[in-house]
């Protein structure tokens, strides 16, 4: 409850009550953006598993009818990629990084998915959540902060399966772009950053 309270205190709706979520899958597992959805925010949601997992895509659309839901992966290029899907059915882990898939002890299902270039993100968003199993650094370093304004970031910072801290590679990019580290939530799984002018 304290974690949810912290996030709500940071986001003020200055940019039109909009969010951008990369890596959603289950709407009821996407706790950060779900908070804002409950508060009347709308957003753009990227989840490559929605391109073949129709059940969860429909669940998400039913819960958030005003959101733009895109069945695409996000990386530092555009095109196509193999998406490796493994883990439990209802909380499936997925990644487009073959080395990440090779590291984890899952039986993987491989699907071909469309990839969106993070450099193309533009506009104003109060909140952006990134949960992409190893792709965080590539995405953050690819963002163009000249055309993209984000008030608050929530970014997965621990490596899946090991708990190793992964934020050292991408935090300097955010600091240089004018963000300040605020706190970690969910036992350190996610790190929160707020722009100095937000």
Report the distance separating Cα 119 and Cα 157, nearest Å.
Answer: 21
61-65, 70-74, 91-95, 188-192: segment of lowest average pLDDT: 91-95
Residue 30 binned pLDDT confidence (cut-offs 50, 70, 90) = low
Average pLDDT over residues 167-175: 98
Q: pLDDT, tens digit, for every residue of 106-139?
A: 889 999 999 999 999 999 999 999 999 999 999 9
Residue 104 has what pLDDT? 87
Average pLDDT over residues 92-111: 90
Class for domain 2-69+119-195, per CATH?
alpha beta
pLDDT at 91 over 60: no
Residue 25 binned pLDDT confidence (cut-offs 50, 70, 90) = confident
Burial class for 101, CB neighbours closer than 10 Å (0-12, 13-18, 19+): buried
Strands 93-95 and 79-86: antiparallel
Average pLDDT over residues 156-168: 92
Q: pLDDT, tens digit, for every residue of 135-159?
A: 999 999 999 999 999 999 999 999 9
pTM exceeding 0.85: yes
User: Using CA atoms in the order 83, 92, 187, 195, what is the torsion angle rounded to 10 degrees?
Assistant: 40
Per DSSP, the residues of the chain read -HHHHHHHHH---TTSSEEEEES-SSTTT-HHHHHHHHTT-EEEEE-GGGGT-HHHHHHHHHH-TTSEEE--EEESS-EEEEEEEES-GGG-EEES-HHHHHHS----EEEEEEEEEGGG--EEEEEEEE--TT-HHHHHHH--TTTEEEEEEEEE-B-TTT--B-GGGTHHHHHHTTEEEEEEETTTTEEEEEETT-
Instruction: Indicate the domain borders of the chain.
Output: 2-69+119-195
Q: pLDDT, tens digit, for every residue of 41-71?
A: 999 999 999 999 888 899 889 989 999 999 9
Residue 130 has what pLDDT? 95
Residue 26 has what pLDDT? 67
Residue 8 has what pLDDT? 84
């Amino acid at each position: 409850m304290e974690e949810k309270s912290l996030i709500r205190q940071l986001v003020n709706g200055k940019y039109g009550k909009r969010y951008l979520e990369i890596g959603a899958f289950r709407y009821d597992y996407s706790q950060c953006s779900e908070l804002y959805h409950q508060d009347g925010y709308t957003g753009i949601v990227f989840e490559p598993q929605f391109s073949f997992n129709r059940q969860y895509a429909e669940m998400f659309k039913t819960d958030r009818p005003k959101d733009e839901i895109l069945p695409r992966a996000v990386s530092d290029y555009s095109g196509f990629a193999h998406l490796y899907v493994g883990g439990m059915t209802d909380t499936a882990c997925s990644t487009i990084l073959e080395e990440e898939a090779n590291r984890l002890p899952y039986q993987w299902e491989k699907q071909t998915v469309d990839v969106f270039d993070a450099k193309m993100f533009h506009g104003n968003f109060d909140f952006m959540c990134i949960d992409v199993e190893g792709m965080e650094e590539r995405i953050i370093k690819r963002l163009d902060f000249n055309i993209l304004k984000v008030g608050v970031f929530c970014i997965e910072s621990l490596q899946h399966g090991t708990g190793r801290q992964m934020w050292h590679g991408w935090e300097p990019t955010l600091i240089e772009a004018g963000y300040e580290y605020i706190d970690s939530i969910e036992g350190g799984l996610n790190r929160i950053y707020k722009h100095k002018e937000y």
